Amino acid sequence: MKNWLIACLLLIAFSVKAQNGRENFLFDNDWKFHLGNAIDFTKDFNYGLTNIFSKAGEAGNTAFNPKFNDADWQKIQLPHDWVVELPFDKSKNFDQDAHGYKAIGANYPQNSIGWYRKTFTMAPADSGNKFYLQFDGVYRNCKVFINGHYLGSNESGYIGFELDITDYIHFREKNVIAIRVDASQYEGWFYEGAGIYRHVWLKKMNPLHIAANGVFVQTKQKDNTANISLSTKLQNEKYIPSTATIQSYIINAKGNIVQSATKHPIHLAVNELATIHQNISISSPHLWSIDDPYLYKVVSLVINNQKVIDSVVTSFGIRTITVDAQKGLFLNGKPIKIYGTCNHQDHAGVGSALPDALQYYRIKLLKEMGVNAYRTSHNPPTPELLNACDELGMLVLDENRLLGSSKEIMSQFERLIERDRNHPSVFMWSLANEEHSLQYTDVAKRIAITLLAKQKELDPSRTATYAADMGNFNKGINEVIPVRGFNYNLQGIDPYKKNNFNQPIIGTEMGSTVCTRGIYVKDTANGYVPDYDTTFPPWASTAERWWKLAAERKWFIGGFVWTGFDYRGEPTPYTWPCINSHFGIMDVCGFPKNIYYYYQSWWTNKDVLHLYPHWNWKGKEGQHITVWCNTNADEVELFLNGNSLGKKVMPRNSHLVWKVKYQPGILKAIAWKNGKILKDSVETTDAAYQIILTPDRTTIHADGKDVSVINVSVKDKKGREVPDAMNLIHFTISPNATIIGVGNGNPSSHESDKCELGKYQRSLFNGKAQLLVQSGNATGTVSIQATSNGLVDAVQEIKLQ
């Protein structure tokens, strides 16, 4: 981004000289970490015991004293989730169950406080600038100190915040940031992790500058012209009144200037915050869509005395969203049905601390399945998730954490909207999710009106919904919500529509089928459910039932399946030893379950034919095996060892089933689709013989941040993948890269996601496992080796450049 900005400034600021411009430094490296203690002051580095607020900057014998010795603290880089490394602990406490049985929360004071420290220096030449620390997400209730001074705190673990550190910086000696993170209080009912699990940025800028999230881009289309309205907040933090000129340019994806706004001079008093409005028109705009996610950029310059003193680059897309109560949703004037998934934010191996590359990896997996929309359940997402959705073409239902209008909750809501409103992927806001004690009441109605008023003030271009787990009920929040959201309650949708004809309806949470990848028999001891679209909790439904309802109703905007990926916590329908959910269409690694192919059949134009289960059923010869087929073909014929078992017509939005007496060999499906022949088969395999490593990318950036996702499988001597293998695989890696986590999608696995250096390992679960390899900072080639007793090794090289 910085290089791109410099290039733009060279192109467009030909009449002015850049001086002391804005710089954003990623502040993720060289941190130190240590657990504290929520009840024992002596184990919490005397926090709470020492009087730290009697005099400014007197830190006493605490961990935020700049002279504190942190030599024995763990060296880490951000993002960091300390919970993923904690042990599992069986408990009857509901909240701990819901958080995946990790030993975190009020019952575990020794694990629920985390301290972070970072030492850095600043150049004396930078004195005179403003400096801010931007935290994209810290879970949770954190207090921030610099050089022994208390800076501020943030309650929620899901929305970012910014703190001004200018006055406390040393320019001729070291600076120390210390952060105390308190995860004793849960915020959700799912795995949340703990720590500084998103990026941190150090921002340097002129005292006369564009405010945080201070550029707002709104677009409207008329005929073949896009009218762009720019609002730029300028802040004068000098101690004298100042004048400046705002100059704005629109840049296309090739980096060319396509239009500019008239220069706007402005005079600001001391500490004044003023908004400048500019309008730009673009002829024949290139529209943003899910199939062609084209992005423009606004370059906003602040010019003072013929010098560029600040600059901000803002990505945006030109697109129109229309919601119609009778016709559904339209994107750029074309009808679009929401093929959505709800998703939490954790992934195998890393917990909630996802590297940016994993955000893109997960969105790509969803798009391959046919998903076109992502609900950020149940909290504001990390900014990089929205960047991935913007760039890859994925609509987003952006969700607020709590329903409330207190100062704290309103602040979170305002920060969410101001941060995310320029993302073209965000098509609608969600005020909250399933507020059981409130949603039926007048209190909820009044709160919703307050939130909606604030939303319209900050972003009049979008509408909002609320994820309501109630049926044909129009009291409380549903009286005022613009778009009625249904969480389940399928039986209430038609009568509600009849009674509220002019209110649009969307399925904010649908499905909740539970299944375990590669398992075909109910297993209560291990906590597994069959990998068919048959099992669901009392409030939920099969995929087929909800999707048929949605597909057949033009006015039904579509829906978000619970969930795209399995996630830690909420182990349903079982508890211990289960430690994560079964709701995902894919498991926590992103390996598809069979239900994936049901959705892919009806959500894409791809030729889909998927036959299951696997065909390794030794000991069940002559017994009936339930065989399913997901396809969007017209008809399918099934063969066992060359013998036809019958041809069946494929009902739309459904599936096919056969009962087949098991014999080893090849079970094959042949399908016909518009005259085209499709084939799929499952085959009885021999024992595993060799390990296979399959990276998502063989070349990654040598930036110390990028990640290659390497999927692990095994094949027999004939080269057939073994679908029921459970071998323990060991991993080693050459220098200049790191294994940052492993997983296998087993919802009852208590194996470590993080291992000691040189001791990484993971068992296959039904033939699959995954490791995440993060680059170092030097170019070259990294070698990853996988070994297992009795199997041929595998070696995979990854190029760093």
Catalytically active residues, by annotation: 434, 509
**Integer Cα distance of 172 and 188 in angstroms:** 44
CA angle 426-430-436, nearest 5°? 160
Q: How many residues belong to the chain? A: 801
With 0-12 / 13-18 / 19 or more C-beta atoms within 10 angstroms meaning exposed / middle / buried, residue 714 is buried
**Integer Cα distance of 210 and 216 in angstroms:** 11
Secondary structure (DSSP) of 338-371: EEEEEE-S-BTTTBT---HHHHHHHHHHHHHHT-
Pair of tokens at residue 66: 């700049």
For residue 333, which of 321, 345, 318 has the smallest C-alpha distance?
321
Pair of tokens at residue 729: 């695989």
Tokens 């390497």 identify what position? 710
SS3 767: coil
Tokens 């040189």 identify what position? 758
Helix H, strand E, coil C: the string for 167-229 is HHCCCCCCEEEEEEEECCCCCCCCCCCCECCCCEEEEEECCEEEEEEEEEEEEEEECCEEEEE
690-to-579, 604, 678, 695 alpha-carbon distances in Å: 30, 34, 29, 16
**Integer Cα distance of 6 and 3 in angstroms:** 5
Neighbouring C-beta atoms of residue 69, cutoff 10 Å: 8
CA angle 532-538-544, nearest 5°? 40
**Residue 97 identity:** D
> What is the widest separation between alpha-carbon atoms in the chain?
89
Contacts of 375 (CB under 8 A, 6+ apart): 340, 341, 342, 343, 396, 397, 399, 430, 508, 509, 560
DSSP 558: E
**Integer Cα distance of 311 and 18 in angstroms:** 9
CA end-to-end span of the chain, whole Å?
18
- What are the start-end ranges of the H helices in 586-630? 595-603
Pair of tokens at residue 681: 């088969």
625-to-83, 138, 630, 725 alpha-carbon distances in Å: 41, 49, 16, 20
Is there a cis peptide before residue 613, judged by omega within 30 degrees of 0? yes
Q: What are phi and psi of 148, to 5 degrees?
A: 85, -5
Contacts of 261 (CB under 8 A, 6+ apart): 230, 247, 248, 249, 278, 279, 280
